[in-house]
Amino acid sequence: MRTAVDQIKEKLSIVEVVSTYVKLEKAGSNLKGKCPFHNEKTPSFFISPERNTYYCFGCGEKGDIFSFVENFEKVDFKGALKILAEKAGVKLNDFNPKAEEERDMLFRVVESATKYFEERLENTEDPKKYLINRGLTSETIKEWRLGYAEEQWNELNNHLQKEGYSISLIEKAGLIKRGEKGSFYDRFRGRIIFPIFDPSGRPVGFTGRIYSDVKPLNESEDLTPAKYLNSPDSILFNKSEIIYGYHKAKNSIRSKGYSLLVEGQMDLLMCHQIGINNAIATSGTALTEGQLQIIKRSSSNLMIAYDGDKAGISASKRAFALAIKLGFEVKIAMMAKDSDPADFIKKDQEGFKKALKESLHVIDFTLQSVLNLNLDERSLLKKINEEVIPLIIATPSPVERSYFISKIAEKIKVPEAALYEQLSITKNEPEVKSTFISDVRKTSERDKRNILERKIAGIYFKSSENLKDVINKSFQRLFEDVPSFSLDSLVSPYEQDREMLIFEAEKEQLEDNENEISLKRYFEDLAKSLKKEILKTELQIITDDLKKAEKDKDQARARELLKQVDQLTKKLSYLKI
């Protein structure tokens, strides 16, 4: 049986729906107009009649007719369904709210709770004052939908039940807990509430920061309540895969070319408040691989604002190593002593920005902080082994590894060979030969390559099966000297951004959208540019090596490297059209 949603989608095109709200003009095979979701003078809101989707290049809003109406009319899914059903002349009799997926219900109950907490904060003087004193403006408080949970046992629970939500749903959303006697009570009490949003900006969970002393329910509970309390994992909320602020930061991360990772919600809010919109936070948990994979979709350059009051960086070492291993370029910005980013910004905005400018590569940073401890020789070596060597082992590029090893050797006056020995003791890894697709070192190069890959992915996603075959073959031909490099493996990390990348490809190819020959030509140009970037990076790395070999008077190695330089230069000249 066809659902009401299917029937509506069949009857209404995206153009019909959007054009009643927004003036549209033709843009190749798509249409464009001024975005209704953000302020703009020139149109960057695109609509694809073919796929029945929209995408805004300005603010990143995207979706179908339902999400459009939800966002525009500020209604929930059911509200949008009602509006669109009327427009399409579809009867909603068959539509049964009970059959709605649990997921949708959870989204709604969390949204209701968010509204409830917002209202409580609005009407409670002291917690609001506290936030303002910490440096937040009322705009920031509104924008990030901060709230307050009163020191009551059943306020939220009662409120949500009155709104018609079942106890079991409220529990599934992590908003209430079952006490020892079997009765439920509110999880968040006497806390400032920070809603946590999914990448599309819907609240999915909460972090509650203690505001007043919450009385424990019974003896078995901890007597001193935790400073921060998170929602438990649910269908919507997975702590290890969610990043606070990512929904607002993602576009800025892309345009600035890096993300700034801070620890807590307050740090993040203060950053955004002063226009550092690429800030994201982990909400007190250690950075996970899942989170890093999400961040990597926007940029593989990661800067970490590091609390000044921490003695060592041992605690974060694992996360740093993980990021390096996943191909991130990691930099550390040191905060002023004894202050977290939030306090630092409040006291000295310019000082904070300066600290970001003066950030150091994580290995340099760690090395420096170990050297600063002024240890005797034996303790120094031990510390280097514990703190710095794991980061070097995580570094995928052998060239980069040898660069840092010679740097450490020079600083601590130990022969390089001894450090290499240390490396193989700590982790027995076979000598990795410099591969063709080596890791790109410099930010600008990495970005260039990233942009090309995104464009290639966009064309690939857009292509018909037939065209996919054709461009796959031409890609294989171009990269035949790198058998392990396939178009599939290049494209797959971008799967998440499929819709957006198709729109991007279409925007670049406004006139020739439907012309497969021109798409193929465009693809080949991009693939060639990508190969050129890769060769250039390779050349740079080998040239650096060559300089070093010459400095070391290692003639045999220099000769070998010179030969490689020659080969690469030849390959590059073949690529010129």
Task: Out of 8, 14, 31, 35, name the contact with Zn ion by CB under 5 A.
Answer: 35
Nearer to Zn ion, 37 or 77 (CB): 37
Three-state DSSP at 22 gives coil
Q: List the alpha helices (DSSP H) in 35-123.
A: 65-73, 77-88, 102-122
Residue 58, interface with Zn ion (CB under 5 A)?
yes
Looking at the Cβ atoms of 120 and 272, the one nearer to Zn ion is 272
DSSP 3-state of 142: helix
Residue 18 found at the interface with Zn ion (CB under 5 A): no
Q: Least distance from C-beta 58 to Zn ion, angstroms?
A: 4
Whether residue 217 contacts residue 179, with contact meaning beta carbons closer than 8 Å, is answered with yes
478-487 contacts at long range (C-beta below 8 A, 24 or more positions apart): 478/524, 478/527, 478/528, 478/531, 479/527, 479/531, 481/436, 481/571, 482/436, 482/437, 484/437, 485/436, 485/437, 487/456, 487/460
For residue 41, the minimal CB distance to Zn ion (Å) is 12
Which phi and psi (to 5°) does residue 184 adopt?
-90, 150
Task: State which residue, 35 or 279, has the beta carbon closest to Zn ion.
Answer: 35
Which amino acid, one-letter code, is at 5? V
Query: 527, 457 in Cβ contact below 8 A?
Result: no
**What is the per-residue burial (b if ≥16 Cβ within 10 Å, else e) of 49-73?**
eebebbbbbbebbbbbbbbbbbebe
- CB 47, min distance to Zn ion, A: 12
Half-sphere exposure of 498 (CA within 13 A, CB side): 10
Q: Which is nearer to Zn ion, 55 or 107 (CB)?
A: 55
- Residue range at the interface with Zn ion (CB under 5 A); choices 27-35, 270-278, 307-315, 431-439: 27-35
572 part of the interface to Zn ion, by CB under 5 A: no
With CB under 5 A as the contact rule, the residue among 8, 56, 84, 558 that binds Zn ion is 56
In the complex, least distance from residue 453 CB atom to Zn ion, rounded to whole angstroms = 25
Beta strands in 271-325 (DSSP E): 279-281, 301-306
- Compare residues 57 and 485 and give the one whose CB is closer to Zn ion: 57
Helix axes 465-478, 443-462, angle to 10 degrees: 140
- For Zn ion, which is the closer residue by CB, 56 or 333? 56
CA distances from 444 to 440, 470, 565 (A): 9, 31, 22
CB of 61 to Zn ion, least distance (A): 5
Nearer of residues 33 and 127 to Zn ion, judged by Cβ: 33
Residues 36-55 interacting with Zn ion (rule: CB under 5 A): 37-38
Of 41 and 413, CB closest to Zn ion: 41
**Closest distance to Zn ion from the beta carbon of 277 (Å):** 15
Q: How far is the CB of 142 from Zn ion (least distance, A)?
A: 20
Binding site for Zn ion (CB under 5 A): 35, 37-38, 56, 58-59
